Structure 1
Amino acid sequence: MWELLLVIPQKPQQNGLRDEGVRMSAEARRRHILEELTSTGRVRVAKLASALDVADETVRRDLVALEQDGELVRVHGGAVTALGPRTYETQLEERIQQHEQAKLAIAERAYELLPAAGGAVLIDAGSTALALAAVLAKKAATAKFSIVTNSVAAVSIFSERPDLSVYLIGGPVRAITQSVVPFDAASQLDQIRVDVAFLGTNGCSTGHGFSTPGPDEAAIKRAFIASARQRYVLVDETKFGAEFTHRFAGLEEVDGIVTDAAPDQRLLRALREAGTEVLFT
């Protein structure tokens, strides 16, 4: 006679092996979070959850743990570096390859802000400003605009448009940003007046405004702001909440920002209270 043997699988015990697996998974996630934070200066919960294929709440727990370890500071929607005001920079070539689609979208939106009848336009150095230079070179009507810039890379782009008037500010060149940073930025630009200026930034925060790592870059950006009738800062979302050593403008000192994503509510409120328009792609 056959006997039926019913085997009921037992639930796995909550032993150290399972705990170890969870712990290692958390370590891997947190390494990824810190790598992203080192690269961009800011991380967002939703993007991390999508990249790591976990729930938003899992990412939030990771951020809490990393904040307790002093690795980052949590902000609305994500986290920023805990290093405080930063001084480091990356090569222009490297930054051009980061967030390319976001920068192109910002450039396309910024192009819409150019005077319809043409005029004098100032374009700052930087990867997002360089994207705007490329859009302008491609789309601008013949001889419609005069360009003032401190970007060596932008001049190279405009070399394909000999009909445009391009003025490169004189002075020493910083290889890392391919930007001209004259010792007499204020005096050079004191004699120049442009219709609109488009500036890049490394950081944009409630407490520190718009900031950049070097004093020379900050000085020329201040001179740019003083020489323009309208001033817009091109800000991709990775810049929100970041603070670099040298502030070049308060939130209230520019007419608007052009961005690919909304900043957190605190910064958005501060921008609006400052009378600074927030333009989205």
Structure 2
Amino acid sequence: MLAAQRQEQIAQLVERDGAVSVTDLVDHYGVSDMTIRRDLDALAGAGRVTKVHGGAVPVPSRRTEEPGFEAKISRRETEKQAVADQAANLVRPGMAVALSAGTTTCELARRLRGVADLTVITNSTRVSEVLHAAPRSDRTVLLTGGERTPSDALVGPLAVDALRRLHADVVFLGTHGMSVEAGFTTPNVMEAETNQALLDCAHQAVVVADSGKWGVVGIATFAELERIDRLIVDDGLDEDAAAALREHIDEVTLAEAGSR
């Protein structure tokens, strides 16, 4: 394989998986450690990846860049599924739950289709579609109005006004990024306002996120870390990051994705 071909494949792996390690790439391509490091140097020099200790991660996105739903759904699928499994354990028959837009909350919606006597409040057209694909006479789905974003969230004054009239036991929120300094963020200012309305309508707040969201900062904060009651993230999260989050959030649950 030519170096240019290998480098293009490596760049695609970084984009798909969120990170690659030198060790894994050496095993995968059957080349030397030095060859892979030269590949990563070339990709970093071209602005395709960011080198980190032992591997590479994607170049930090612009704070206003908002990938579409289809672009995000195939990223970190195993991790999102593990997080959704954990989150589903918090839902009981007869509850009213709110779900924000996002690929992880959409995974959670799939797991809630079997829960009896459930009311779901959402600003996500995708979540609504998932639940309506498995109809139940004892389930109610309340979809807000609003302006549609690239991630299929309904946002803006119509969504916010609808949410102000509703009340949920627990809200599950996806996030574009999370950090100690910025909290939980989104690349869309109107989505931040709508997420805040979702937070305000619920008794308990849970953020569901894959570990790739750590260190990513969107343009708008929708919640400081302390505002959230529980964070559910996959066990790929760095130990130092988990410790930093636990200083601000009462419950941080690491969902086991490594064994899948």
Partner residue of 2:125 out of 152, 174, 183? 152
* Secondary structure of the structure 2 residue equivalent to 1:118: coil
Q: Does 1:231 align with 2:205?
A: yes
1:189 offset after TM fit, Å? Answer: 2.5
1:118 offset after TM fit, Å? Answer: 3.2
Point out the more displaced range, 82-91 or 52-61. 52-61
* Secondary structure of the structure 1 residue equivalent to 2:157: coil
1:95 offset after TM fit, Å? Answer: 2.6
Give 1:202's aligned amino acid. H
- Structure 1 pair 198–49 and aligned structure 2 pair: CA distance change class (3 A): farther
| Superposition map of 1:177-256 within 5 A | 177-183=151-157, 185-256=159-230
Match of 2:248 in 1: 274
8 Å contact 1:133–1:154 — kept in the other structure? yes
Match of 2:104 in 1: 128
Partner deviation per Cα, 1:69-125 (whole Å, 9 max, x = no partner): 7655455665444446433233223433333333222212110012x4531100111
C-alpha distance in 1, partners of 2:221/2:34?
A: 35
1:166 offset after TM fit, Å? Answer: 1.5
8 Å contact 2:178–2:216 — kept in the other structure? yes
* Secondary structure of the structure 2 residue equivalent to 1:36: helix
Give 1:171's aligned amino acid. G
Partner residue of 2:75 out of 98, 105, 111? 98
Give 1:251's aligned amino acid. L
C-alpha distance in 2, partners of 1:248/1:131?
A: 22
Q: Does 1:166 align with 2:141?
A: yes
Percent sequence identity is 34
1:130 offset after TM fit, Å? Answer: 0.8
C-alpha distance in 2, partners of 1:86/1:28?
A: 30
Match of 1:111 in 2: 88
1:198 offset after TM fit, Å? Answer: 0.8
C-alpha distance in 1, partners of 2:214/2:196?
A: 20
Q: TM-score, normalised by structure 1?
A: 0.75
Q: Which runs of 5+ in 1 are unaligned?
A: 1-20
8 Å contact 1:33–1:43 — kept in the other structure? no
C-alpha distance in 1, partners of 2:24/2:148?
A: 37
Partner deviation per Cα, 1:7-59 (whole Å, 9 max, x = no partner): xxxxxxxxxxxxxx9xx64x55544443334456x314265555445677875
| Superposition map of 1:55-74 within 5 A | 63=40, 72-74=49-51
Q: Which runs of 5+ in 2 are unaligned?
A: none
8 Å contact 1:201–1:239 — kept in the other structure? yes
8 Å contact 2:16–2:75 — kept in the other structure? no
Give 2:95's aligned amino acid. G
8 Å contact 2:14–2:58 — kept in the other structure? yes
| Superposition map of 1:35-46 within 5 A | 35-39=12-16, 42-45=18-21
C-alpha distance in 2, partners of 1:268/1:147?
A: 30
Match of 1:9 in 2: none
C-alpha distance in 1, partners of 2:55/2:110?
A: 32
8 Å contact 2:144–2:158 — kept in the other structure? no
* Secondary structure of the structure 2 residue equivalent to 1:247: strand
